[in-house]
Amino acid sequence: MHFELNQDQKLLWKMIREFAEEEVAPGAEHRDKHRLFPKEIFDKLAKLGLLGLPFPEEYGGGGADTISFCIVVEELSRACGSTGITYSAHVSLGGAPIHLFGTKEQKEKYLTPLCTGEYLGAFGLTEPNAGSDAGGTRTTARKDGGEWVINGNKCYITNASYAKNLALTAVTGEKDGKKEITAFIVPTDAPGFSVIDNYEKMGLHASNTTELVLEDVRVPEENILGKRGEGFKQFLITLDGGRIGIGAMAVGIAQAAYEKALKYAKERVQFGQAISKFQAIQHKLADMAMNIELARLMVYKAAWLKDQGRKFTKEASMAKLFASEMCMQVCNQAVQIHGGNGYMRDYHVERYFRDAKLLEIGEGTSEIQRNIIAREIGC
């Protein structure tokens, strides 16, 4: 197994690097400061055919592999973390569950518009009382004739303001003393469905993070995604793939922070020489470069295993855990290398630092990743 990119991947990397530098990076600071969602960027990504990149061509997708998806997430995140997380969530949380568990009819109806960029994808799992303990879901769905009536709340949901429907979990009964959790595809404009966008966040200000409130929302039986009672299992499988996206995002943000720090170290003169000449700074930069490279290879390995149809739960958790913690460390050191300037908005590294923190929390905290890895190695 080796990770030299193939010709298609190299071409994609060149194209998305140019796009990110020309279209995404220039407005990143302004969007973050004013909390402006990058809608026009996603319209352009749709025209480039990238919103359905890893999904089958028959549904308007690009038929590409997971490594290609990682390349796009990394490059978008290197330019703007908010754009990176929006793209990653659209594909790995919005589109993936429908691709993995949907019927042919559901894919035609719901996956195709996601691939063509008619709207963005979102995914409703987290609740006020069900974060790391996703099995603690309290949202309920009860059968009423040929329909299901859904009541409950979801929180910290990415992209929901720009989605026309999303997959979410609800308790549909009890089986063997345990909650029976089922996934449903729910239109966001259904009566009783509210999407509330009023969170004030530490970082990723230009991404859309919402609360969902469902009050007697009715959906037909055909809107069950996959099989009744398998919603929790389906969403865990979805999260395995999503963690690869978070890993790629961490690599991108870390790469941006490292590049800024390296450039600054070469230009900043103290005690009569560039600070890059001081061994203390050199060691910081060497560690950054090494850890970014390690994280990238871990992300690519998890993606490669996924593409081979092999088990990748452990590798996805390892990649997500290592890359997110590495990213936080790299951004911290990038601020340190910049000194007082690093604390100021004009130098960008404080934004990378704020954006990086979520990666140790979202799609399973670092603590949960260690639990998963421990389970996978047989503890």
Please tell me the predicted confidence (pLDDT) of residue 316.
98
**What is the DSSP code string of 178-194?**
EEEEEEEEEETTSTTEE
Q: Are residues 110 and 132 in the same domain?
A: no
- Cβ pair 243, 363 in contact under 8 A: yes
Burial class of 208 by CB neighbour count within 10 A (0 to 12, 13 to 18, 19+): buried
Domain CATH code at residue 68? 1.10.540.10
Q: Given 229, 263, 278, which residue is the final one in a domain?
A: 229
Q: Strands 123-124 and 165-175, how do they pair?
A: parallel
Could you say which of 116, 141, 176 is where a domain stops? 116
Average of per-residue pLDDT across 20-32: 98
Has residue 218 got a pLDDT over 80? yes
* Last-in-domain residue among 190, 211, 229: 229
Q: How confident is residue 177, by pLDDT bands cut at 50, 70 and 90?
A: confident
Residue 165 has pLDDT above 90, yes or no: yes
Clarify whether residues 284 and 342 are in a common domain: yes
pLDDT of residue 35 exceeding 70: yes
Give the residue-averaged pLDDT of 187-193.
97
pLDDT of residue 175: 86
Q: What is the pLDDT of residue 161?
A: 98
* pLDDT reported for residue 155: 97
User: What count of Cα atoms within 13 Å lies in the side-chain half-sphere of residue 123?
Assistant: 25
Catalytic-role residue among 118, 259, 363, 367: 363
The 10s digit of each residue's pLDDT in 237-275 is 999 999 999 999 999 999 999 999 999 999 999 999 999
Instruction: Give the confidence band of 134 by pLDDT, cuts at 50, 70, 90.
Output: confident
Q: Are residues 256 and 352 located together in one domain of the fold?
A: yes
Q: Does pLDDT of 1 surpass 70?
A: no
Shared domain check, 264 and 193: no
pLDDT at 364 over 70: yes
Q: Is residue 299 part of a domain?
A: yes
How high is the pLDDT of residue 4? 85
3 has pLDDT over 80: no
pLDDT at 237: 95
Does residue 1 lie in a domain region?
A: no
Same domain, 299 and 346: yes
Q: Could you tell me the pLDDT band of residue 2, with boundaries at 50, 70 and 90?
A: low
Mean pLDDT, the chain, as a whole number? Answer: 97
Bridge partner list, 150: 141, 217
Mean pLDDT of 221-248: 96
Active site residue 363: yes
Q: Is 60 exceeded by the pLDDT of residue 38?
A: yes
Percent of the chain with pLDDT over 90: 96
- Alpha-carbon span 304 to 228, nearest angstrom: 31
Q: Are residues 288 and 310 in the same domain?
A: yes
* 244 and 221 within one domain: no
Range of the domain at 297: 233-377
* Closest C-alpha to 340, from 351, 352, 350: 350
Q: Are residue 102 and residue 138 in the same domain, yes or no?
A: no
Determine the average pLDDT of the residues in 169-179: 92
What pairing do the DSSP bridges indicate for beta strands 193-196 and 209-220? Answer: antiparallel
Quick one: average pLDDT of 358-369?
97
The count of domains in the chain is: 3
The pLDDT tens digits for 40-96 are 999 999 999 999 999 999 999 999 999 999 999 999 999 999 999 999 999 999 999
Q: Would you list the DSSP string of 300-335?
A: HHHHHHHHTT---HHHHHHHHHHHHHHHHHHHHHHH
